[in-house]
Structure 1
């Protein structure tokens, strides 16, 4: 089998399941991973012979893609904030809007002072905490998650990116006190309501961890309320609380934070114009 035949089989198999642009993207990503070929090299070498071993890798990936498994889980890796991250079904796949949250935190220059201390609640793959650690080498970064399996991945990612993050396993909903005071507490907690599931893609519904995504319709701000109550007692003077938020619940969350005593509440839109981030202080 040559490269052109491999591509034709790949495209035909996934046609009708994914848009053509996404199929092309999958093929390019897998070709770079399995064949070490760039997109240009794919176009220039249609007659390149594909080994049986490499063809089998593509076939295995095809079967998983047909079942809507995310390409990131198939590869076991992704990129976030220009850094490499391992991911698996115990971790949420990092999103571009979360990169915007990290960038917003980094643009607050007051936190670039030496020995600033950050806590990331619900760290998952560690993408927020590790990106902060990489860009703020003089700061101390802590990260908390309920999942032992997720924390194993996060630890691997901290080693992969050569940064130090202190990881803590805890259920934030049962946590009465945090280990210390912080300059910044940040969280991208579960915020997708059950009623919003019908808007989700199959690859998310079938594979990404429910505990990192969904909240009950009757109490969609549960995590925000618990985290804000902890933050009141564990933010240093002039410390700030950052959240990634549900675009449909910005007003309700703002009211909750006002009731909890927070001020200077600022909502920031993501690149798609959706209310996606919040910053405030006590």
Structure 2
């Protein structure tokens, strides 16, 4: 079978489950991972053949996609803010919205020196590592409750030569943070159980619920706890940043203002949803 013909078969199998553009993107990701080819290589070699062993590998990827397994988990990697990160079922897949949060932090703090920064709920380490690579002389630490996630984050830090200090800690059980910081950032669990109907099946079936969901009765649980800790552990002129639930922007702003944070700014993501907050101690 030629690669061109297999592409037709691949897309025909996936388009009932995914839109055409997404299915096409899956093909080209697999093309790069399995054959080391880019789009232009296929265009120049449309009649290239696939061996039986190659077809077996392609079919295995296709089967997993039909089971709606995220392609980032199939190949064990995701790209975020220009860096490559290992991901698996113990870590969330980094989102473009989170890149926007990282970009905001970098642009607001790129001229500060000797920054001490803490990322709470680090997962794959994508936020902490991206900030460590882009903020000169920053001393970056990251906390997570999952030993498995921290193992992934440590490998990502080594691969990307970021030098992040990782800490195993249940933030809800913490009474004080390890040090005083210039910046604290967190993308904690914020999806309410009542919002599960809006979540794609591939997320529900494969991504870690520990990092996603919070009880309906107290959806700001993590934000309140982190904000209280930050109030005591941010240095003068310190900044706190959150990625937030798009439906709870007003409530999160009000909570932070009630705790005494100043200059609370609510920002929208590229899709126009309330998605991130920055404020001063």
Distance 1:136 1:112 in 2: 8
Aligned residues: 281
Q: Which residue of 1 aligns with 2:144?
A: 145
Where in structure 2 are the equivalents of 1:56-95 lying within 5 Å?
A: 56-95=56-95
Distance 1:55 1:151 in 2: 35
Distance 1:158 1:250 in 2: 31
Q: Which residue of 2 aligns with 1:247?
A: 246
Q: Which residue of 2 aligns with 1:96?
A: 96
Shift of residue 13, structure 1, vs aligned partner? 1.8
Distance 1:19 1:154 in 2: 32
Aligned to 1:276, the other structure's residue is in SS state strand
Distance 1:98 1:157 in 2: 17
**What are the superposed Cα offsets for residues 55-79 of structure 1, whole Å, 9 maximum, x if unpaired?**
1111111111011100100010010
Aligned: 1:202 with 2:196 = no
Q: Which residue of 1 aligns with 2:120?
A: 121
Aligned to 2:113, the other structure's residue is in SS state coil
Check conservation: 1:112, 1:139, Cα contact below 8 A.
no
Shift of residue 165, structure 1, vs aligned partner? 0.2
Where in structure 2 are the equivalents of 1:252-267 lying within 5 Å?
A: 252-267=251-266
Aligned to 2:278, the other structure's residue is in SS state strand
Shift of residue 53, structure 1, vs aligned partner? 2.3
Q: Which residue of 1 aligns with 2:34?
A: 34
Q: Which residue of 2 aligns with 1:177?
A: 176
Aligned to 1:168, the other structure's residue is in SS state strand
Point out where structure 2 has 5 or more consecutive residues left out of the alignment: none
**What are the superposed Cα offsets for residues 188-232 of structure 1, whole Å, 9 maximum, x if unpaired?**
000111111101111101000001111111100000000001001
Distance 1:163 1:225 in 2: 29
TM-score, normalization: structure 1? 0.97
Shift of residue 173, structure 1, vs aligned partner? 0.6
Point out where structure 1 has 5 or more consecutive residues left out of the alignment: none
TM-score, normalization: structure 2? 0.98
**What are the superposed Cα offsets for residues 116-163 of structure 1, whole Å, 9 maximum, x if unpaired?**
100000000000000001112411000000000000100010011111
**How large is the RMSD of aligned CA atoms in angstroms?**
1.0
Shift of residue 15, structure 1, vs aligned partner? 2.7
Aligned to 1:33, the other structure's residue is in SS state helix
Distance 2:53 2:164 in 1: 38
Aligned: 1:211 with 2:210 = yes
Distance 2:53 2:78 in 1: 23
Shift of residue 112, structure 1, vs aligned partner? 3.5
Aligned to 1:179, the other structure's residue is in SS state coil
Aligned to 1:108, the other structure's residue is in SS state helix
